[in-house]
A and B are shown apart, each in its own frame.
Chain A
Amino acid sequence: MTLESEEIKTGIIPIEKQRAGLKRNFTQISDTITFEFKKNLKNFFLVLLIFLGVFILFLTIQELQALQGKELPADPIIFIKDYLAMFGFMLIISTALFGGSIIAEDFQKQTGNLLFPKISKTRLLIGRVISRYILNAICLFFYYVLIGAITFIKYGEIPIVIWGSMGWALLYTFSLFTFVTFMSSIMKSSTATIIVSILFLLIVFNLVSMILTFTGLDFEPLFILTYYEGIIAQSMAMPNPRYIYMDMQPPQAEEPIFYKNWLTPTGTAAFIGMVIYIGIFLTLAYFLYKRRQSKNV
Chain B
Amino acid sequence: MNKKNQEILIQIKNLTKKFGDFYAVKGVNLEIKHGEIVGFLGPNGAGKTTTMKMMAYLLNPNEGEIWIRANGELKKLTRINKDYLLDNIGFLIEIPAFYGKVTPKEILKYFAKLKGYPRVRLDERIDTVLNMLGMLKWKDKKIGTFSKGMRQKIGIASAIIHDPDIIVLDEPQTGLDPGARKEVRDFILKLKKMGKTIFLSSHLLYEISEVADRIAIINRGELIAFDTLNNLEGKAKKSVIHFELLNPPDGKVDDFITQLKTFIAPLTGIAEEENWIKYYDDNKVFQLFFNGNPKNQTDILKVLLENGYEILEYSVPKAGLLENLFIELTGVNEIGGVYK
Contact = CB atoms under 8 A, between A and B. Distances in A.
A150 interface: no
B163 interface: yes
A38 B107 CA distance: 10
B128 A8 contact: yes
A247 interface: no
Interface stretch (A17-25, A133-141, A250-258, A264-272): A17-25
Interface residues of A, number: 37
A118 B56 CA distance: 9
B7 interface: no
Contact of B113 (A16, A31, A116, A297): A31
B213 interface: no
Contact of A10 (B57, B111, B194): B194
Interface stretch (A84-92, A105-113, A207-215): A105-113
A20 B116 contact: yes
B196 interface: yes
B49 interface: yes
A73 interface: no
A113 B96 contact: yes
Interface in B126-172: 128, 132, 155, 158, 162-163, 165
Nearest to A16: B118
B194 A11 contact: yes
Nearest to A38: B106
Interface string B77-98: 0000001101101011111111
Nearest to A9: B128
Interface in B2-34: 17, 19, 24
A114 B49 CA distance: 13
Most buried by A among B24, B93, B194, B196: B93
A15 interface: yes
A34 B86 CA distance: 24
Interface string A92-123: 00000000000001000111111011111000
A27 interface: yes
Contacts of B53: 113, 294, 297
B309 interface: no
Contacts of B59: 293, 297
A125 B76 CA distance: 27
Interface size class of B (residues with CB under 8 A): 35 or more
B273 interface: no
A19 B121 contact: no
Most buried by A among B106, B111, B125: B111
Contacts of A38: 102, 106
A154 interface: no
B59 to A, nearest CB: 6
A24 B93 contact: no
B113 A17 contact: no
A155 interface: no
A99 B240 CA distance: 58
A5 B128 contact: yes
A294 B19 CA distance: 13
Given A15-B121, A31-B113, A111-B97, A116 B128 contact: no
Given A35-B106, A109-B97, A17 B128 contact: no
Contact of B163 (A11, A19, A294): A11
Contacts of A116: 56-58
Contacts of A113: 53, 58, 91, 93-94, 96-97
B135 to A, nearest CB: 15
B124 interface: yes
Contact of A117 (B24, B93, B106): B93
Most buried by B among A18, A28, A118, A294: A118
B187 to A, nearest CB: 13
A111 B99 contact: yes
A293 B101 CA distance: 24
Contacts of B111: 114, 118
B121 A39 contact: no
Nearest to B196: A11
B337 interface: no
A274 to B, nearest CB: 31
B278 interface: no
B114 interface: yes
A20 B97 contact: no
B158 A114 contact: yes
Nearest to B93: A113
A293 B97 contact: no
A42 interface: yes
Nearest to A111: B97
Interface in A17-53: 17-20, 24, 27-28, 31-32, 34-35, 38-39, 42
10 contacts: A8-B121, A8-B128, A15-B117, A20-B116, A27-B113, A34-B110, A38-B106, A109-B98, A110-B97, A118-B114
In the complex, the 10 A-B pairs of residues with the closest C-beta atoms, listed nearest first: A18-B116, A109-B97, A113-B93, A20-B83, A117-B56, A17-B116, A35-B110, A117-B91, A31-B113, A118-B114
Given A15-B163, A17-B162, A117-B57, 15 more contacts: A5-B128, A9-B194, A15-B121, A17-B115, A18-B117, A20-B83, A109-B98, A110-B97, A111-B98, A111-B99, A114-B92, A114-B96, A114-B97, A117-B93, A118-B114
